[in-house]
Amino acid sequence: MVEILEVNHDKDHVHFLLSNPPTMSVGRVVNIIKSNTGKKIREKFPFLKEVYYASSGIWSDGYFVSTVGLNESMIRKYIQLQLQQNEDTGQTKFEVT
């Protein structure tokens, strides 16, 4: 069973803190989440069928995954404060030294 521990979003992406059994691959979990949420969103907002007429999904193919060890509380806080801090713009910023 997959357990959703935290969830939050920004304007163009979603963050989840999940616990999943070792018998289930991360890719399978992502596929299930995207499939189920995409279906429900299309049911709730029928106009999206016209917007995404060329494909059956509203989610992009990609995803980022990182495992959590000792930093779970830091990751949980980051997810909870996603909209307040607005730090994650989806782009890496490098400092020039």
Mind listing the pLDDT tens digit for each residue in 19-47? 888 899 989 999 999 989 888 988 898 88
pTM of this structure: 0.65
Q: In angstroms, rounded to a whole number, what is the distance separating the alpha carbons of residues 94 and 23?
A: 37
Instruction: Answer yes or no: is 49 within a domain.
Output: yes
Instruction: Answer yes or no: is 92 within a domain.
Output: no
Instruction: Specify whether the CB–CB gap between 2 and 29 falls below 8 A.
Output: yes
Instruction: Answer yes or no: is 72 within a domain.
Output: yes
Structural domain boundaries enclosing 70: 3-85
Positive or negative, the CA dihedral 22, 28, 31, 36 is: negative
- Closest of 8, 7, 28 to residue 18, by C-alpha: 7
Instruction: Answer yes or no: is 69 within a domain.
Output: yes
Instruction: Answer yes or no: is 14 within a domain.
Output: yes
Question: In the chain, how many domains are there?
Answer: 1
Instruction: Specify whether the CB–CB gap between 88 and 82 falls below 8 A.
Output: yes
Q: Which residues of the chain have pLDDT under 50?
A: 87-88, 90-92, 94
Instruction: Answer yes or no: is 93 within a domain.
Output: no
